[in-house]
Amino acid sequence: MGHKVDFVCRACRYEERDLGVGRGRRPWPVLRLFRCDNCHSVGSAWVDEDGVARCSLCYHDDIALLADDITSVTCPKCTERGVFTHHPGETWE
């Protein structure tokens, strides 16, 4: 099972809502948070057992995978600090 995450940058107001994190009923693939410097976005993408992931927006394969419990990261739009808000009560299967 997984949970949902929101990303918000208060400096430039860039936001991504309802990003999925975690795994379904099987061990692979896993939804992981990422930061893409190619299209300047934050999101979640499916990662297979081999660990190769692509940006879910531009499909670029050079993305930075983030920890599932991360609380903040540099905003890809303005380089200020953006905040992740985890919603552990909102789960998905």
Cβ atoms of residues 32 and 20 within 8 Å = no
- Check residue 91 and give its pLDDT: 76
**Which tens digit of pLDDT belongs to each residue from 11-24?**
999 999 999 999 87
pTM for the whole thing?
0.88
Residue with tokens 């993408």: 45
pLDDT of 86 over the 80 cut? yes
State in Å, rounded, how far the first CA of the chain is from the last one. Answer: 5
Q: Average model confidence (pLDDT) for the chain? A: 91
How many structural domains is the chain composed of?
1
Please report the DSSP string for 1-32 in residue order: -EEEEEEE-TTT--EEEEEEEEE-SSSSSEEE
pLDDT of 36 over the 80 cut? yes
Compute CA distances 3 → 8, 31, 71, 89, whole Å.
Answer: 17, 10, 14, 7
* Full domain range(s) for residue 25: 2-92
Determine the 3-state secondary structure of 44 from DSSP. Answer: strand
